Copies of this chain bind each other. A is one copy, B any other.
Amino acid sequence: MGNSEGTKNKALTAKVVLVNSFDELEKKKDSLKGMIVFYNYKFNPTFISTFQSYGDAVSYRGGGASRAAKYGAVAVIVRSMTHSTDNNPHTGALRYDTTLAKIPALAVGLKDADWLSDQIQNNKIISLTIKTNAHFLPDTIGHNVIGELTGSEFPDEIITIGGHLDSWDPAEGAHDDGAGVVHTIEILRAFKALGYKPKRTIRFVLFANEENGLRGGNKYAQEAKTKNEKHIFALESDAGGFTPRSISFGGTPEQLKKLQSWIPLLYPYGVYEITNGGGGADIGPLNRTFKTPVAEFGPDSQRYFDYHHARNDVFENVNRRELELGAVNMAALIYLIDKYGF
């Protein structure tokens, strides 16, 4: 979440207003001056993919502060984007409209959100005092970590596979994106253990700074452009270390058809569908720079937002078998693309 430097560690007391949606915000816009806005928009349980619920709700965290600041609000509190049964707050990116006041923004867990909503509705809570020590540290140097198996036949055709090294503050980011990092390393390990000599060059990339600016992904594509590299495919794992289900793909319909023809080979290991959708954040710049076809591994999504950007996104909450099976399916796909080209 965000905070203007000016309010760091200072307590702020103001009246609070409950807002269940942006529609409600607009209706109340004339009464928000000097208020704390509490966005209590619910993570929609009727979407089966939790990523759909996230897409539906995330604008409250991403843009809610500035939308409230526009009407004179002095802070926002946001209901966490999760189906979890615990009370952990879930943090994440927030974009300030720089033409408006950068007001503090905080996330609360679901139990606190339900309680606060009840208290406000029953006039038991009128005002709140909030205090946050959120702040930006100065930039520092980060690195993409890259391993490479150079192709034996077509070394100039590059296949990228990767996840990102950074995580949000509350925890180590075991699912987001430790799982993607381990998937990437495990595929390299497996190929080496098998003595596999790829025809094409396979790059194993642990990206720096996905969460806060995508600088690793941008830099990787920039370098590729500078060196005039030929990137034929990129695969990302940034949806957690859960049991495999699908792969989403961003490329031409013909390429999608080719990938889908391989489903029977992946099916016994868990991936039963390859959908039209697109790759992950870190390989987006490759796609935008070169029209490189991109894909993202799609594990089961049900538990992802139980942990996403929260203090329980820790090693202990990753299941070894589920993590391993992700690497198995991704390795198979990379093998097929190396073997048959793309």
**Residues on A close to B: CB < 8 A?**
45, 48, 50, 83, 85, 243, 268-270, 272-273, 300, 302-303, 306, 319-322, 325
CB distance from A42 to the nearest CB of B (A): 14
A48 close to B268 (CB less than 8 A): yes
Q: Given A269-B48, A272-B272, check contact A83 B302 (CB 8 Å).
A: no
Contacts of A243 in B (CB 8 A): 243, 300, 302
User: Taking the full assembly, how many copies of this chain does it contain?
Assistant: 2
Give the residues in chain B near A48, CB-CB below 8 Å.
Answer: 268-270, 325
Chain A at the B interface: SS class? loop
CB contacts (< 8 Å) of A270 on chain B: these are: 48
- B303 A83 Cβ-Cβ under 8 A: no
Give the nearest-CB partner of A50 in chain B. Answer: B321
List chain B residues, Cβ under 8 A from A45: 321
CA distance A306 to B302 in the complex (A): 19
> Which of chain B's residues has its CB closest to A273's CB?
B272
* Residue in B85, B268, B322 whose beta carbon sits within 8 Å of that of A302 in the complex: B322
Residue of B nearest to A306 (CB): B319
Report how far A320 CA is from B305 CA in the complex, Å: 13
Known: A243-B300, A303-B319. 12 other contacts (CB 8 A): A45-B321, A48-B268, A48-B269, A48-B270, A50-B321, A85-B320, A272-B272, A272-B273, A302-B319, A302-B321, A302-B322, A302-B325
A243 to B269 Cα, complex, angstroms: 16
Give Cα A146 to B46, complex, Å. Answer: 30
Q: List 8 A-B contacts (CB under 8 A).
A: A45-B321, A48-B268, A48-B270, A83-B320, A243-B243, A243-B300, A272-B273, A302-B325
Determine the chain B residues whose CB is within 8 A of the CB of A321 once the complex forms: 45, 50, 83, 302-303
How distant is the Cα of A322 from the Cα of B303 in the complex, in angstroms?
8
A322 to B269 CA separation, bound complex (whole angstroms): 20
- Residues in B with CB closer than 8 Å to A319 are 302-303, 306
Q: What is the CB-to-nearest-CB distance from A229 to chain B, in angstroms, rounded to a whole number?
A: 36
Chain B residue at smallest Cβ distance from A49: B268
Docked complex Cα distance between A302 and B244 (Å): 10
Contacts of A273 in B (CB 8 A): 272
Which residues of chain B are within 8 angstroms of A300 by Cβ–Cβ distance? 243, 300
